[in-house]
Chains A and B, each alone.
Chain A
Amino acid sequence: MAELIPIYYSGKQYLVPEGVTIMGAVEYSGYRLVRGCGCRGGFCGACASVYRVPGDHQIKVGLACQTRVEKGMDIAILPYYPAQKVLYDIKLVKDPKQELQKMYPEMYRCLGCSACTKICPQDLPVMDIIAEAQRGNLAAVAELSFDCVMCGLCASRCLAQMVPYNIAMAARRLYAYFMLPRPDYVGTRIREVEQGVYDQQIDALLEEEQEKLQKLYAERDIEGI
């Protein structure tokens, strides 16, 4: 059995095994989470947590499912954080760069304090992402923000009261819609399917004996790596 160490969850002390995650510690303490828990694998951003450790003035953050407890840690799991999102119809957008700037003009109020970058549990350069958004560099915003789990911590710290993750979300969609290629062969294949090009070939297999299918499967040509 691991050594038990004290932690504070929403200000209450519990003794938990050393080495477990914040989520493990909270559940070990008897909580059955409803909010503040999602995929439990570091993808969904439901369990964004803020904490402090003794003797350090800094506020720290992490996903509860990914962050190990430390002795004396004082933890809150964020249940929800309100965010502003501008509604839009991507198909009606004319100029994607201008559109982003029109949607979120508050991005120009960025004070360059870097609180967003410091707090991001995914280690994304949030302030740089906003700077690229100001320049209308959608490709850069899209690439730099790709690992965003939209946990809301940046919005909780922004002095300019922006919601950086929604700005990045819009930028990624606009970038993908306007600037990424659409290979012709996708449309060609869709038309072939609509015209019934594959129906006869596949329908012939629907009632086929397993033996015949096994033979087709065993003899299929496998593309090289």
Chain B
Amino acid sequence: MGYPSHYDQTLNMVKETRAFRNTQEIARLNDAERTELISNFHPDYRPEGMAALRLGSNKGDRVPVELAKALESYSIFNPEDLNLSAPGYTTDILIVGGGGAGCSAALTAHAGGAEVLMVTKLRLGDANTLMAEGGMCSPVRPEDNPYMHFIDTIGGGHYTNVPELVKALVMDGPEIAAWLMELGVMFDYESDGSLKVNHCGGHSRKRMLSCKDLTGLEIMRVLRDELRDRQIPCLEFSPVVDLVLDQNGACRGAVLYNMETSSFIVVQAKAVIMASGGIGRLHIQGFPTTNHYGATADGLVVAYRAGAKMLHMDSIQYHPTGTVWPEQLLGQLITEVMRGHGAHLVNVSGERFINELECRDTCASACIRECSERGNGVFTPTGSEGVWLDTPLIADIKNHFVGIYQRFKKYDIDIQNEPILVYPTQHYQNGGLLITPQAETSLPGLYAAGEVAGGIQGKNRLAGNSLLDIFVYGRRAARRALEANGETAAPEYLTVEHLGKWHAQLSELGVSEERQSPVLLPDYTPKPD
């Protein structure tokens, strides 16, 4: 297959300019230039991509149109038909989501003596955690410390992060690294026995710990193995479709939907930890995504209609280098470590247009500007556009990036000699449910950890910080829930009356009853024209 023949001319220009580009210095943007670039070209700033919420705790806030639609929807069941008097399961702590945040919460809660039930939409471990390639940042080295990690994270987040949440992140980092080592995670080491650490975008110290280029997979495999060893129950293919409250409006369980038998299950719990992940599969503004199949913002939807507050949900992270061609790999991540190793971002004529080591939002905006305003993009036969990531500049590519090399080789593209066509791809939900440093949401009894939580990373997340935050807040949520559970009395009754009220408001707004959420899974079957 390889590249279409009409690419010959642009591929030649990329090749011919390579030597010159290698000697070229491109200055980093100053604050004003960066702000101008982002506000003109970052998708978050497109007015048509955002809508003001018409109801709920964040009424009036701008959020992506696709999320607004999911939030302003009816429950997928009729609340009046639900029998809450005989829950299918009763437990101390219900954990929603089988990724890194959910698994670390479950292990911590179980170790603290609680009865735990995990529920997840797909299989245990099917989550974005497992797809993390690069690594997890933790300020463990003598040359580093939590203070430096704090400054990097706040600056990278453009000073929008909740500082107390960043403090918890960086202070817990070393303990998380040790905890994972104690569970038997195969981190990478130097020959002198020190941890191997990588540099990555926006960090001032080398602090990214890795497990080859499959860090998330390795950690996820170990956590899943340990959950099974501890015999912690997990209901798979049974996503949460709404929360259950008590007489005081505190969260005391959830309604699950068994996708395979099309039946509903009520779970009663003293506390619920929401660790349901991100939003990518809602395809914000039509962008492809690096996210796994189940990332449809379900946790935001059910928590929001039960009254929880969100933060920064106008902020989505687009990774600058998602694959555009071949289409079979559309949206898949090309790690930014490639730019760290010297690969240039280059337009149709072989010209660089940004310092490749700028933050993600800046590089992504520059790629979009190149394709839109400047008209310097490379078109694919099906009408998408991209710019080149000039990989032949990387020495020893087969050794450093064997996974990516093989992925393209299958489509007859040799990235040692040919560049990769890339365009920004949705990667991460920067915002989420508002939490305290103890992972409490604004809804009593509901905790949140991982990508569904917001405020930790501000409006731009640094590489390697989310793989840390899922464990920090997963464990914090479990510890706080354990403490609080001691004081929690049995509910007088369980209720979903909040749904009736929500439905009445939707009805007043004229929203059609056919609009239901959570979305659960994207639909990629062909649509009639």
**Interfacial residues, chain A to chain B (CB-CB below 8 A):** 19-21, 24, 27-28, 30-35, 37-44, 46, 66, 68, 85, 87-91, 142, 146-150, 169-170, 172-177, 180-183, 185-190, 193, 198, 201-203, 205-206, 210, 213-214, 216-217, 220-223, 225
- Chain B residues, CB < 8 A from A68: 328, 410
Is the CB–CB distance between A44 and B193 below 8 Å? no
Among B126, B174, B333, which residue has the most Cβ atoms of chain A within 10 A?
Answer: B174
17 A-B residue pairs with Cβ-Cβ distance under 8 Å, sorted by A, are A24-B328, A32-B524, A46-B122, A66-B410, A88-B229, A142-B186, A147-B214, A149-B217, A150-B221, A170-B225, A172-B218, A176-B185, A185-B141, A187-B178, A201-B147, A202-B150, A217-B155
Other A-B pairs beyond A38-B126, A41-B332, A169-B225, 19, CB < 8 Å: A24-B524, A38-B292, A68-B410, A88-B229, A90-B184, A146-B212, A146-B218, A150-B221, A180-B181, A180-B186, A181-B194, A182-B181, A189-B139, A202-B170, A205-B150, A210-B159, A214-B159, A222-B204, A223-B205
* B46 part of interface (Cβ distance < 8 Å): no
Give the Cβ gap from A83 to chain B, nearest Cβ, in Å: 10
Give the Cβ gap from B470 to chain A, nearest Cβ, in Å: 16
Is the CB–CB distance between B229 and A44 below 8 Å? no
A217 touches which of B151, B226, B228, B523 (Cβ 8 Å): B151
B157-174 vs A, Cβ < 8 Å mask (1 yes, 0 no): 001000110010011101
Chain B minimum-CB-distance residue to A27: B524
A28 touches which of B178, B237, B526 (Cβ 8 Å): B526
Bound-state CA distance A37–B217 (Å) is 16
Is the CB–CB distance between A20 and B293 below 8 Å? no
Which residues of B in the span 249-277 have a Cβ within 8 Å of any Cβ on A? 259-260
Is the CB–CB distance between A177 and B184 below 8 Å? yes
Bound-state CA distance A78–B151 (Å) is 47
Give the Cβ gap from B191 to chain A, nearest Cβ, in Å: 10
Is the CB–CB distance between A193 and B126 below 8 Å? no
Chain B minimum-CB-distance residue to A182: B181
- Chain A residues, CB < 8 A from B237: 34-35
B154 touches which of A46, A149, A189, A213 (Cβ 8 Å): A213
- Chain A residues, CB < 8 A from B216: 43
Give the Cβ gap from A4 to chain B, nearest Cβ, in Å: 12
* B5 part of interface (Cβ distance < 8 Å): no
Give the Cβ gap from B280 to chain A, nearest Cβ, in Å: 11
Is the CB–CB distance between B184 and A176 below 8 Å? yes
Given known A68-B328, A177-B184, A189-B174, contact A41–B131 (CB-CB < 8 A): yes
Give the top 10 A-B pairs by smallest Cβ distance, nearest first: A173-B184, A217-B155, A181-B193, A177-B184, A189-B174, A27-B524, A39-B292, A176-B186, A38-B126, A176-B184
* B504 part of interface (Cβ distance < 8 Å): no
* B32 part of interface (Cβ distance < 8 Å): no
Q: Give the A-B pair count, Cβ closer than 8 A.
A: 195
A223 touches which of B146, B185, B199, B521 (Cβ 8 Å): B199
- Chain B residues, CB < 8 A from A174: 184
Is the CB–CB distance between A38 and B122 below 8 Å? yes
Bound-state CA distance A66–B525 (Å) is 18
Bound-state CA distance A147–B217 (Å) is 9
Bound-state CA distance A185–B145 (Å) is 11
Is the CB–CB distance between B195 and A90 below 8 Å? no
* B152 part of interface (Cβ distance < 8 Å): yes
A186 touches which of B163, B178, B226 (Cβ 8 Å): B178
- Chain B residues, CB < 8 A from A21: 328
* B7 part of interface (Cβ distance < 8 Å): no
Which residues of B in the span 101-146 have a Cβ within 8 Å of any Cβ on A? 122-123, 125-126, 130-131, 139-143, 145-146
- Chain A residues, CB < 8 A from B259: 34
B292 touches which of A35, A44, A87, A90 (Cβ 8 Å): A44
Given known A41-B332, A176-B184, A198-B145, contact A223–B155 (CB-CB < 8 A): no
Given known A68-B328, A190-B178, contact A220–B204 (CB-CB < 8 A): yes
Bound-state CA distance A182–B177 (Å) is 10
* B175 part of interface (Cβ distance < 8 Å): yes
Give the Cβ gap from B65 to chain A, nearest Cβ, in Å: 23
Given known A177-B182, A198-B171, A213-B154, contact A186–B140 (CB-CB < 8 A): yes
Is the CB–CB distance between A205 and B163 below 8 Å? yes
B167 touches which of A169, A172, A206, A216 (Cβ 8 Å): A206
Among B152, B171, B194, which residue has the most Cβ atoms of chain A within 10 A?
Answer: B171
- Chain A residues, CB < 8 A from B170: 202
Is the CB–CB distance between A46 and B229 below 8 Å? no
Bound-state CA distance A180–B181 (Å) is 9
Is the CB–CB distance between B151 and A146 below 8 Å? no
Is the CB–CB distance between B175 and A39 below 8 Å? no
* B397 part of interface (Cβ distance < 8 Å): no
A202 touches which of B125, B146, B199, B340 (Cβ 8 Å): B146
Give the Cβ gap from A170 to chain B, nearest Cβ, in Å: 8
Given known A30-B526, A39-B292, A39-B293, contact A213–B155 (CB-CB < 8 A): yes
Bound-state CA distance A194–B178 (Å) is 14
* B89 part of interface (Cβ distance < 8 Å): no
Give the Cβ gap from B340 to chain A, nearest Cβ, in Å: 8
Bound-state CA distance A174–B152 (Å) is 35
Give the Cβ gap from B439 to chain A, nearest Cβ, in Å: 18
A90 touches which of B171, B183, B189, B523 (Cβ 8 Å): B183
Chain A minimum-CB-distance residue to B198: A225
